[in-house]
């Protein structure tokens, strides 16, 4: 089964639109399930990820500013309906 999560660009201190990619670590091979999705400042994007035996998802997100000057990445355990903040620049 899959669970739904929401990615949120919370970059308010230095507002930047982001290109976001996500790997689903619970799916075989940890595939890239989102590639370079533009998420504007304070906007969201919803997607589904594979759940593990405990009902959790495990993802790696990578966010890059649209001017390509800064990249950030994090590994996150998620639950159904969770909002994931994807900017910590």
- Binned at pLDDT 50, 70 and 90, residue 10 comes out as confident
Domain count, the chain: 1
**Three-state SS sequence of the chain:** CEEEEEEECCCCCCCCCEEEEEEECCCCCCCEEEEEEEECCCCEEEEEEECCCCCCEEEEEEEEECCCCCEEEEEEEECCCCEEECCCC
Domain region containing 9: 2-85
pLDDT in tens, 18-44: 999 999 999 999 999 999 999 999 999
Query: Which pLDDT does position 87 carry in this prediction?
Result: 82
Mean pLDDT of 6-25: 90
In CATH, what number is assigned to the domain containing residue 46? 2.60.40.2190
């Amino acid at each position: 089964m899959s669970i739904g999560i929401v990615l949120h660009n919370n970059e308010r201190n230095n507002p930047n639109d982001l290109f976001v990619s996500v790997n689903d670590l619970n799916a075989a091979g940890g595939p890239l399930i989102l590639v370079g999705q533009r998420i504007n400042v304070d906007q969201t994007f919803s997607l589904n990820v594979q759940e593990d035996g405990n009902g959790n998802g495990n993802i790696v997100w990578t966010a890059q500013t649209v001017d390509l000057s800064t990249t950030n990445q994090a590994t996150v355990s998620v639950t159904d309906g969770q909002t994931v903040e994807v900017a910590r620049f």
